[in-house]
Amino acid sequence: MQILGIVDIHSKTDQIEDLLAEAEDADLVLVAGDITNFGVDDRAEAVLKPLIEVSKRIFAVTGNCDYGEVDGYLERLDLHLEGKPRSVGGIRIIGVGGSLPCPSSTPHEHSEEELKILLEEQMEEGGAGEPLIAVIHQPPFGTKIDKSLLAGHVGSEAVRTFIEEYQPLLCFSGHIHESPGIDTLGESVLVNPGPFLKGRYFLADINDGKVQIELKSLMS
């Protein structure tokens, strides 16, 4: 299975056209939140409609900078992962949007306890024994993908605990723009490709339970 992943678009649509050929070739497109920059459903549609039109399958969660109307848009189009785990090619895909509280208040935030509950709820919908992909806007604590330039590691302990317990093949996060990279927790591969508003994304190949990731950029 080939997966294309983008996150932290923040309503920047001028590079979407440059991504469409790879989106069309991918078996699955995943969007890990901050689709808009404090926007609602019309801004989400401007970002996602071109991808929806070419993708074989596309699923998403919202980020801390997306208002609730964006969740509604994803739900109407049956693209939302949160509360609706999917199974694609024998792999279970779950998602949780939003982030921990930010220095400046944003529309979609959770406490650690709320993140823990939301993550556990995704595992109550069946799918026991299936390999897992987790799309979680907030990255796990203490990894290569959660380090803020000013505050150090700012990821979630609840997300880290979830990954350590359930060992997804792949955990796709974003939120921390300055920490693009690839890491591991146990057998789980973690990726934050960096913000798509700067042209960053990733391609992953999953074959026989093995994950290979390429970080890519549309900018030279």
Three-state secondary structure along 67-87? CHHHHHHHHHCCCECCCCCEE
Give the domain ranges of the chain.
Answer: 2-217
C-alpha 153/C-alpha 78 separation (Å) is 34
Residue 127 has pLDDT above 90, yes or no: no
Q: Shortest CA distance to 176 belongs to which of 198, 147, 151, 197?
A: 147
Tell me the average pLDDT of the chain.
Answer: 96
Q: Under a CB-based contact definition with an 8 Å cutoff, are residues 62 and 99 in contact? A: no
Instruction: Give the model's pLDDT for residue 5.
Output: 98
Domain topology for 2-217:
Purple Acid Phosphatase; chain A, domain 2 (3.60.21)
pLDDT at residue 126 is higher than 80: no
Please check the confidence at residue 198 and state whether its pLDDT lies above 90.
Answer: yes
pLDDT at 125 over 80: no
What the block records as the tokens of 119 is 């993550």
Question: What pLDDT was estimated at residue 217?
Answer: 97
- The rounded distance, in Å, linking the Cα atoms of 64 and 97 is 7
pTM, full prediction: 0.97
pLDDT reported for residue 150: 84
Q: What is the pLDDT of residue 129?
A: 79
Residue 128 confidence class, pLDDT cut points 50, 70, 90? low
Longest CA–CA span in the chain (Å) reads 44
Q: What pLDDT is attached to residue 47?
A: 97
Contact 4, 22 (CB under 8 A): yes
Q: What is the pLDDT of residue 69?
A: 98
Percent of the chain with pLDDT over 90: 95
Torsion angle (degrees, nearest 10) of CA 170, 172, 173, 178: 90
Q: pLDDT tens digit string along 30-89?
A: 999 999 999 999 999 999 999 999 999 999 999 999 999 999 999 999 999 999 999 999
Tell me which DSSP letter residue 149 carries: T
The rounded distance, in Å, linking the Cα atoms of 106 and 112 is 16
Amino acid at 106: T
**Average confidence (pLDDT) over 17-42:** 97
Q: What is the pLDDT of residue 219?
A: 84
